[in-house]
């Protein structure tokens, strides 16, 4: 093999090696980015069409939540025992939903 042939072979292997490194880096970056994209949430059941009354006496129609996961908690605002615990749990769920990036997919109704 001539000196020019060896040089061409080295250049080819160098380009191939750099190309493989770039490809591996791109695949790794894609996997990291894809793992952080929120996945669609499963549909466990459909909420019936019901109109509720909010804390201000205004009507709240559950049709407004169509296409979202709904976490529904009915509380009585003057109960001294379980309602504060339920409210605290809903706050934990709300924080977890926000951290997961699901704010647009999940509707908390409390």
Q: What is the pLDDT of residue 4?
A: 60
Boundaries of every domain in the chain: 1-37, 51-109
**Element (H or E) spanning 72, and its range?**
strand 69-72
Q: Check pLDDT > 80 for residue 39.
A: no
- Are 73 and 90 in contact by the 8 Å Cβ rule? The answer is yes
Q: What is the pLDDT of residue 95?
A: 93
Q: Check pLDDT > 90 for residue 55.
A: no
Quote the CA–CA distance of 108 and 110 in Å, as a whole number: 6
What's the pTM?
0.51
**Element (H or E) spanning 10, and its range?**
helix 3-36
Quote the CA–CA distance of 102 and 41 in Å, as a whole number: 9
pLDDT in tens, 67-92: 888 888 877 767 777 878 888 888 99
- Helix then strand then coil, % of the chain, to nearest 5: 50, 15, 35
């Amino acid at each position: 093999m001539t000196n020019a042939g060896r040089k061409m072979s080295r250049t080819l292997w160098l380009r191939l090696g750099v190309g493989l490194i770039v490809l591996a880096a791109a695949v790794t970056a894609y996997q990291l980015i894809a793992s952080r994209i929120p996945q669609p949430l499963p549909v466990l059941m459909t909420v019936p069409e019901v109109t509720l009354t909010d804390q201000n006496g205004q009507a709240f129609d559950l049709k407004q939540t169509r296409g979202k996961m709904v976490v529904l908690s009915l509380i009585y605002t003057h109960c001294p025992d379980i309602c504060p615990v339920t409210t605290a749990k809903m706050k934990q769920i709300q924080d977890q939903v926000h951290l997961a990036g699901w704010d647009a997919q999940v509707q908390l109704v409390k």
